[in-house]
């Protein structure tokens, strides 16, 4: 007889953990750090950062140790092969400008002004058919420049491809093959033709895993073709990094597709596949946390989560399965880094695991 595996997103399991979590939160709140800033440069009020020659930099990288960013993107192109020179160094226009007021204790996208969101949406839709826009500055050269300023040793690029007329994985893997600080995931749409051949080809070109984005790819995480894809990824030892959870600014269909209830079946029914929940479930963090506590094949990636939620995740999730990520170029990497540094203050072992060791193990990287 086949038993259905537990689905923490459906039942009452979430409630049972609220009591200890509140204690953790209350404790953290009593010495709550400053989390709102006039702009990104004001992060230099924290002991970790300073402004040097007009740039926000990590003040003392040695005291922090190596850092791996598990969640970055370059420009994405659709309709034709990458028309943007990904090695161009130029002034970088992030979707959240450095001049914006910064609140570290809300979901990251609440820092956008209406006008920022408009620009972002235009850039990612119509813009992705062109070679212009802010996207033209979302290059590997600009990312590497920011990484140097912030003491980030390696970043993982996450391409997103459609079933046809899209070559982002190819472009990103090409970039990573020419860099010793960038690694790349691949992307194969579950409804693409020749899924197995594509996975093999991307793995051969160095893909460290596969990015899956239900909203952007317009596909259900627990659909039949998606389930087949995870099986094929497991057979090839390719972890799957999900965009996981609704973020509040996507269209209704995307919001439906990214509900956490669609993630537990892949995780439960493909135990031999490693799943990384990008954004730790976004606005449904509780459910993602439960999945990580219930299933050993689940990692949580912290990009965009609020400071308080990160404190909570660090206190409750398995500490060897938490990953640092920033979602550059949506945000400057300092935003995510500031939150993790604050949340791991006084816990050097945990900080090392989250910023570097867990990702290093997953990617097969060794520094030192």
Q: Which residues bind to Zn ion, rule: CB under 5 A? A: 327
Q: Residue 303 CB, nearest distance to Zn ion (Å)? A: 7
CB-based contacts of 41: which residues, under 8 Å, 6+ apart?
Answer: 51, 56, 98
Distance (Å, whole) CA 72 – CA 336: 12
How does DSSP assign 57-113, residue by residue? EES-HHHH---EEEEE------SSS--S-TT-------SS-TTS-EETTS-GGGG--
Nearer to Zn ion, 286 or 327 (CB): 327
Q: Residue 25 CB, nearest distance to Zn ion (Å)? A: 27
Q: Residue 345 CB, nearest distance to Zn ion (Å)? A: 26
Query: What end-to-end distance do the CA atoms of the chain give, in Å?
Result: 50
Nearer to Zn ion, 257 or 268 (CB): 257
Nearer to Zn ion, 7 or 109 (CB): 109
Torsion of CA 303, 304, 306, 310, to 10 degrees: -10
Q: Residue 277 CB, nearest distance to Zn ion (Å)? A: 12
Q: Residue 301 CB, nearest distance to Zn ion (Å)? A: 9
Nearer to Zn ion, 149 or 327 (CB): 327
Nearer to Zn ion, 64 or 332 (CB): 332
Secondary structure class of 288 (helix, strand, coil): helix
| Residues β-bridged to residue 144 | none
Phi, psi of 65 (to 5 degrees): 90, 180
By beta carbon distance, the residue nearest Zn ion is 327
């Amino acid at each position: 007889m086949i038993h259905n595996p537990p689905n923490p997103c459906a039942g009452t399991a979430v409630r049972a953990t609220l009591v200890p979590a509140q204690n953790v939160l209350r404790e953290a709140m009593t010495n709550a750090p400053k989390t709102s800033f006039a702009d990104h440069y004001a992060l230099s009020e924290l002991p970790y950062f300073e402004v040097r020659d007009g740039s926000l930099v990590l003040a003392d990288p040695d005291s922090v140790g190596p850092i791996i960013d598990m969640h970055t993107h370059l420009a994405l192109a659709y309709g034709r092969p990458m028309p943007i020179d990904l090695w161009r160094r130029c002034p970088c226009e992030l979707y959240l400008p450095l001049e914006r007021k910064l609140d570290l204790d809300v979901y990251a996208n609440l820092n956008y002004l209406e006008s920022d969101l408009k620009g972002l949406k235009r850039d990612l839709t119509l813009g992705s058919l062109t070679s212009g826009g802010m996207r033209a500055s979302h290059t590997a050269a600009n990312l590497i420049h920011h990484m140097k300023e912030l003491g980030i040793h390696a970043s993982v690029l996450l391409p997103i491809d459609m079933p046809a007329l899209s070559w982002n994985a190819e472009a990103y893997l090409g970039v990573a093959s020419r860099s010793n600080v960038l690694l790349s995931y691949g992307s194969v749409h579950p409804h693409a033709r020749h899924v197995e051949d594509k996975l093999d080809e991307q793995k051969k070109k160095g893909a460290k895993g596969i990015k899956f984005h239900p909203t952007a790819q317009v596909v259900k995480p627990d659909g039949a073709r998606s389930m087949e894809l995870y099986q094929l990824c497991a057979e090839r030892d390719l972890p799957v990094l999900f965009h996981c959870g609704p973020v509040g600014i996507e269209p209704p269909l995307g919001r439906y597709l990214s509900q956490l209830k669609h993630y537990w079946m892949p995780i439960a029914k493909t135990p031999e596949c490693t799943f990384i929940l990008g954004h730790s479930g976004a606005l449904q963090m509780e459910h993602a946390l439960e999945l990580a506590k219930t299933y050993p094949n689940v990692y949580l990636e912290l990009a965009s989560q609020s400071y308080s939620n990160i404190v909570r995740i660090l206190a409750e999730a398995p500490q060897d399965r938490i990953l640092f990520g920033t979602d550059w170029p949506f945000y400057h990497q300092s935003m995510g880094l500031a939150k993790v540094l604050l949340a791991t203050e006084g816990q050097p072992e945990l900080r090392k695991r989250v910023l570097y060791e867990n990702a290093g193990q997953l990617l097969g990287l060794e520094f030192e």
